[in-house]
Amino acid sequence: MDEQIGTKWMKMKKESEKEKKVIYKTMKRIRMIEEAIAEKYPEGKMRCPTHLSIGQELTPTIISMLTSKRDKAVSTHRCHAHYLAKGGSLKRMIAELHGKTNGCCKGKGGSMHLIDMKVGFMGSSAIVGNSIPVGTGIALAEKIRKTNNISIVYLGDAATEEGVFYESINFAALKKLDILYVCENNLYSVYTPLKERQPPNRNIVETVKSMGVEYTKNLTERKTEDLYKELKLVLGKIKKNGGPGFVEVETYRWREHCGPNYDNHIGYRNESEFMEYQKTDPLNMLEQMLTKEVVEFEIWKEELEKRISDEISRAFEYAEQSPWPEETEGIKGIYADNGSYK
């Protein structure tokens, strides 16, 4: 009996290590891609505004692990991590940032408008709160088609101040849509902290729960294993029983709201707060954990970083070599296009 228990425990331990390595691999890839963008952005070849996801890689990594390409996702202006975790094409993303015709939006959208329908990433938008009704509509379409696919809607804490947030939550609860709203609360809307935007003691999770959404959780990225368990639980309930879910995840962005730099010198957040969140950076904490748990982790990590670095180099080369759009492309595919432009 003791031998059976020991064998079972070892199997569980190996599975846990495997899951952690998958999470680490995806997070590390996103982090290195974002850091490469930040490094190259001053060259002036990426002319679009860019909102980096550095520090906020964990939640989309776990959600994409627990869902499939058939499940749909929509995102916000800070969409790189969501797009990459879902499996979006890196080459086409970097080409998009360069405004090239091979970009995922043919060079028209830039950093804030990414799409890769092949992997179920249905698009992102620069409009605050815009992903919420779009993702809700996708969930309705999936229900009508009886696909059993989940719609994932990423939103920021500021989007919960928009009227469409409450309208969509109400509609999702009423129609019992299979949807998970993921609020990434990074404490700021541009330079304005929560205390200057929302009344004290306001609880977004409790507000959503009062509107008839049963599966709600208040989570944090500071505890990787707990976040994984809770997201797995919520997504499992939606898959099994149907209906909407909502999670608010405490997270933190390292770089400026828009751009490649650090902006602590502006004064809207203090250095001690920034340093505290850096100490609990999910990627660094997971790396420390794996260093202790996994044999020859450093060798594995070095090989991983080399592969990612090579992939990033190829993506930027692809963007450089991709053609610019023709002038006529600027008026193709626009809203209410009557087909007169060829």
The closest alpha carbon to 54, from 245, 263, 307, 304, belongs to 263
Alpha-carbon distance 227 to 235, whole Å?
A: 12
Q: Return the number of other C-beta atoms located less than 10 Å from residue 326's C-beta.
A: 9
Q: Do β-strands 121-124 and 151-156 pair in parallel, antiparallel, or remain unpaired?
A: unpaired
pLDDT value of residue 9? 39
The closest alpha carbon to 60, from 41, 76, 49, belongs to 76
pLDDT value of residue 91? 98
pLDDT value of residue 328? 84
SS3 of residue 314 by DSSP: helix
Which amino acid belongs to residue 71?
Answer: D
Please name every residue paired with 289 in a beta bridge, in sequence order, or none if there are none.
none
In the chain (342 residues long), the average pLDDT of successive 10-residue segments reads 46 74 97 98 96 97 97 98 98 98 94 97 95 97 97 96 96 98 95 90 92 94 94 96 97 96 92 92 96 94 98 98 89 65 47
* Inter-residue contact 136 to 124 (CB < 8 Å): no
Helix 282-293, helix 224-241: angle, nearest 10: 100
CA 227 from chain centre, in angstroms, equals 14
The two tokens of residue 333 are 């595919």
Alpha-carbon distance 123 to 131, whole Å?
A: 8
pLDDT value of residue 341? 46
Alpha-carbon distance 142 to 211, whole Å?
A: 22
pLDDT value of residue 312? 98
pLDDT value of residue 319? 98
Q: What ranges do the domains of the chain cover?
A: 35-326
Please name every residue paired with 216 in a beta bridge, in sequence order, or none if there are none.
246
Which amino acid belongs to residue 188?
Answer: Y
CATH of domain 35-326: 3.40.50.970
pLDDT value of residue 8? 43
Running DSSP on this structure, what letter comes out for residue 52? -
